[in-house]
Structure 1
Amino acid sequence: MKEVYSIKEAINKIEHYCAYQERCHEEVVSKLRTMKLDSSEIDEIIIHLISSNFLNESRFACSFTRGKHRIKHWGKIRIVNELKFRKITTYNINLALKEIPPEEYLDTFHSFAERQWEAIRESDALKKKKKFCDFLLRKGFESNLVYEKMKEMESSE
């Protein structure tokens, strides 16, 4: 990577970076910092990206939420925490959570939880339950859902 970029070169490079995949402001700013641009140049480029619709925080949050839920099977808690970590506003987080229909969320949770229960090879019932709950909680599912599902799986054995 070269050391110094003109504004025009930086804009071309960062437009490509944003067009390739949805990005949040935080990712773009840190990428621009690695290009050794000063803060006034970074501000100018961010304004250009937003006005040209290369950068849109709401669109990023919605896309991120759909992808993490459908592909990685993350629960809402983990998604919210990851969005907060990326400095996404509460308004955009709430907007993004509406991208997951409640029926789809529960279907994903139940099928994922059942697969997980079957996959745990543990003869000690207590250890199996702990592994099951820990895994689903790490994935960001709500504790009430996890514990209800554990009771259901335990009674079906």
Structure 2
Amino acid sequence: MQKLYALGAWKRDAEQVVAWLIENDFLNEERFAVSFARGKFRLKKWGKIKIKHELTLKKVSSRNISTALGNIEDQAYQQTLNSLISKKWNSLKTGTAAEKKMKTMRYMLQKGYESILVKPAMNKIAEGKA
């Protein structure tokens, strides 16, 4: 709608165009949400919290957000989480173990991962088990 308004379309005309696009499946919020979540997870390694926040900012319905997040495989999510933690941990050359944990935790939370998943994975890496 905003794009049509920017092009100078009248409200009634813009609504008709959008309705036609939705009817003919050119505009599909669920497809957008799933594609957005998949892309941000695979390419930018975002966590579910950050993806959910960004989709909310784009005014995607909560049902479609849930569907999109449900399409992220748990095994791939956990592998990515472990990989990011390991990479960050190994990139920190100085500091005590507590400082490394704090910096790694902050990094993972910024990426949008859940603290309940980050803490156990980080502890395994810190202890050298992973």
| TM-score w.r.t. length of structure 2 | 0.89
The reply on whether 1:156 has 2:128 as its aligned counterpart is yes
1:119 lines up with 2:91 in the alignment: yes
Letter aligned with residue 5 of structure 2: R
Tell me the equivalent position of 1:75: 47
Aligned twin of 1:145: 117
- Give % identity: 36
1:98-146 deviation line (CA, Å, top 9, x unaligned): 2111111111111122112112233243332221111100111001111
Equivalent position of 2:61 in the other structure: 89
Tell me the alpha carbon deviations over residues 42-69 of structure 1, each in whole angstroms, 9 at most, x when there is no partner.
2111111112221100100110111111
Q: Distance in 2 between matches of 1:118 and 1:32?
A: 49
User: How far apart are the structure 2 equivalents of 1:150 and 1:54?
Assistant: 43
Query: Relative contact order, CA 8 A, sep 6+: which one is greater?
Result: 2
Alpha-carbon distance between aligned partners in 2 of 1:96 and 1:86, rounded to the nearest angstrom: 14
Alignment gaps of 5+ in structure 1: 1-28
Q: Which residue of 2 aligns with 1:56?
A: 28
Using the TM superposition, name which of 73-82 and 108-117 deviates more.
108-117
RMSD: 1.7
Q: How many residues are treated as equivalent by the alignment? A: 129
Cα distance change of structure 1 residues 116 and 46 upon mapping to structure 2, 3 Å threshold:
same
